[in-house]
Chains A and B, each alone.
Chain A
Amino acid sequence: MPLVKIPVVLRQSVGGAKEVDADGGDVGAVLRSLADQHPDLQSQLFGPDGSLNRYVNVYLNDEDVRVLDGLDTTVGESDVLNVLPAMAGG
């Protein structure tokens, strides 16, 4: 099952975990399955129309899914998804 790495600012929404397993054959399915398990994530990850919020970067392994097929990017069983919003702390 693909592994999703959760950034600091979203950990509270998943019970504090740094990484969680989530099922799905593409990026959209994995993230929707994650939001189903943790409903607080729904509005943090997705806009009202179901598209990924622009302020959330998602990487499949080390590549930004925006340069792949976005939410339709195929995800393998051993892939890692990194969810990454910008941070401004200095």
Chain B
Amino acid sequence: MSPSGAEVIRKIREQVEEVDPAEVSEHLGNGVVLVDVRESEEWDRGHIPGAVHVPRGYLESRVDAAVGDRNKRVILYCASGQRSALAAHTLKELLGYPNVASMTGGITLWKDRGYKVEVPKTLTTEQKERYSRHLLLPEVGTEGQAKLLDAKVLLLGAGGLGAPTALYLAAAGVGKLGIVDDDDVDLTNLQRQVIHTTGRIGTPKVDSAEATIAALNPDVEVVKYPVRLDASNIMEIIDGYDVIVDGVDNFPTRYLLNDATVRLGIPVVSASILGFDGQLAVFKPHDGPCYRCLYPVPPPAELAPSCGANGVLGVLPGTMGMLQATEVIKLVTGIGEPLVGRLLLYEALGATFTELKVRRDPQCPICSRDPSEIADEEMGVFPDYEAFCAAAG
């Protein structure tokens, strides 16, 4: 007579190493890979922090990518310890994993013992469909999309660079987009500032950008700042944002922004454009150089023409804005290698990219200082940058 299902499970469990939740708790983070083999709905209701999710039905096809190195210690868990024992048996006997165990009692016993459980942010049915192409990417997935939906990104300028960047960040589901711009939409903007429309000429750019974003993705909250960023308002505006996208068109604001973000520890994705040329870098305070490390002083006026004076290929801010949006998404989700300590040059006519190294300047007047050593009365106090840049010119 064939054995019953219960008999098969009992025999398999005898062949699998089982470990107590106390041991799992003790060894978490020490090179042990903890795999939750339950269904997605169970995972969404709460899982052990640091675990990776591979439903048992996808075990054979996805476990290698999730674990990385087969020789690592792999501990599986489910709700009560039964499915994880069967999965551990599969890993050991069919896939040849040498060091596999199943956690006794599953997450039920784990919770009973008072160990921590993490409840992930869940997506609505509509969000799962809207962001499905992100969810299919293992590097983003539900966790990365949830980070995007929780992210607060501030765009300085809804102009050449800010317009395309805002569109793609909104499409990607960045939950809160702040936009600082005190200009109105002008006919000359529309050759490149694709977030605005002919019908909105003469209206504030922040209102125009908000209307386009609202039509594109209702998940995004737009916070409008129809002001010019200056020393009197910068600390109040930028505080609380996770990442800042610098697309401003003048040096005084770029230096001001640098100093304020170094003080507050906010990363800046910075781009600039002129003619057919673009520059891009990520300034992540204290992890890499700041803007002043790269450019200690601004150039004189004759070497710093604006796009209004010099002209710019309409597509160029699109190209550079897309690269900025990509860096923002990488910083928010924690994937890839952000462009920290590197400067990327793009030259459209030759279709060339050049990467240069940017080092931290140990003598940097801003980022060589420990922000915690800056006295309260210094916070938010800036030299007169307009005069500083005018004097340099």
Contacts and interface: CB of A to CB of B under 8 A. Distances in A.
A46 B161 CA distance: 32
Contacts of B273: 87, 89-90
B247 A44 contact: no
B305 A9 contact: yes
Interface string A40-67: 0000100000000011110100111001
A5 to B, nearest CB: 8
B297 A90 contact: no
Contacts of A54: 296-297
Contacts of A63: 356-357
A55 B298 CA distance: 6
For this complex, into which size category does the number of interface residues on chain B fall? 35 or more
Interface string A68-90: 00000000000000101111111
B354 interface: yes
Contacts of B299: 9, 55-56, 85-86
Given A59-B356, A67-B359, A88 B249 contact: yes
Contact of B357 (A7, A62, A85): A62
Nearest to A80: B354
A57 B306 contact: no
Contacts of B275: 8
A18 B277 CA distance: 11
Query: Chain A: interface secondary structure?
Result: mixed
Contact of A86 (B162, B246, B304, B356): B304
B250 A88 contact: yes
A88 B248 contact: yes
A88 to B, nearest CB: 5
Contacts of B268: none
A6 B306 CA distance: 18
Interface in B308-354: 310, 312, 317, 345, 347, 349-350, 354
A90 B160 contact: yes
B205 to A, nearest CB: 13
B307 interface: yes
B264 interface: no
Given A57-B294, A87-B277, A88-B272, A9 B303 contact: yes
Interface string A15-40: 00010000000000000000000000
Nearest to A63: B357
Nearest to A85: B299
B240 interface: no
A54 B161 CA distance: 27
Contact of A8 (B274, B350, B354): B274
A67 B157 CA distance: 33
A89 B357 contact: no
Nearest to A61: B356
A85 B310 CA distance: 15
B92 interface: no
B159 to A, nearest CB: 6
B101 to A, nearest CB: 48
A90 B306 CA distance: 8
Nearest to B246: A90
B68 to A, nearest CB: 31
Contacts of A57: 294-295
B251 interface: yes
B29 interface: no
B80 interface: no
Most buried by A among B159, B317, B357: B357
Nearest to B295: A86
B392 interface: yes
Interface pairs A-B: 10 shortest CB-CB: A86-B295, A90-B249, A87-B272, A55-B299, A90-B247, A89-B274, A89-B307, A85-B299, A89-B273, A8-B275
Interface of B: 157, 159-162, 246-251, 254, 271-277, 279, 294-300, 303-307, 310, 312, 317, 345, 347, 349-350, 354-359, 392
Given A54-B296, A55-B392, A88-B272, 18 more contacts: A8-B276, A9-B274, A55-B299, A55-B300, A67-B359, A82-B354, A86-B298, A86-B299, A87-B272, A87-B273, A87-B274, A87-B277, A88-B248, A88-B254, A88-B298, A88-B304, A89-B273, A89-B274
